[in-house]
């Protein structure tokens, strides 16, 4: 399955289905996301204190925001400076272009 950003509504639906007692495979099919993604969302929810036994009422807006924050990548793609081999290649290409233009 190709990478795509999952919306807050999809995360909420995964957690809602889980709290209603649905299995991970079933949730993945219903929400149309990879079952490993479902597993990760559930694991993060548990780390944030959400308990399946507490039921759907435990999924408050504050708890959902806490879970979403924990799921947010530390360095989202495209959010910062270019680093590593790609940056060196771009810098090298820029230098080569400028020397060709001046020569």
Residue 35 lies in a domain: yes
Distance CA 18, CA 59 (A): 11
- Helix runs in 1-103, H state only: 8-19, 24-31, 35-47, 61-71, 85-102
59 in any annotated domain: yes
Q: Is residue 81 part of a domain?
A: no
pLDDT tens per residue across span 9-51: 999 999 999 999 999 999 999 999 999 999 999 999 999 999 9
Q: Is the pTM of this model over 0.85?
A: no
Asked whether residue 36 is assigned to any structural domain, the reply reads yes
Split into its structural domains, the chain has a count of: 1
Taking only the tens place, the pLDDT of each residue in 49-70 is 999 998 999 999 999 999 999 9
- Domain of residue 27 covers 1-74
């Amino acid at each position: 399955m190709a990478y795509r950003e999952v919306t807050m509504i999809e995360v909420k639906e995964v957690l809602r289905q889980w709290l209603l007692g649905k299995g991970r495979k079933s949730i993945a099919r219903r929400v149309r996301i990879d079952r490993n993604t479902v597993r990760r969302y559930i694991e993060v929810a548990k780390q944030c204190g959400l308990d399946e036994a507490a039921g759907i009422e435990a999924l408050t807006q504050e708890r959902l925001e806490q879970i979403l924050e924990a799921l947010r990548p530390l360095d989202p793609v495209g959010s910062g400076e270019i680093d590593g081999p790609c940056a060196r290649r771009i810098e090298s290409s820029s230098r080569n272009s400028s020397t060709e233009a001046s020569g």
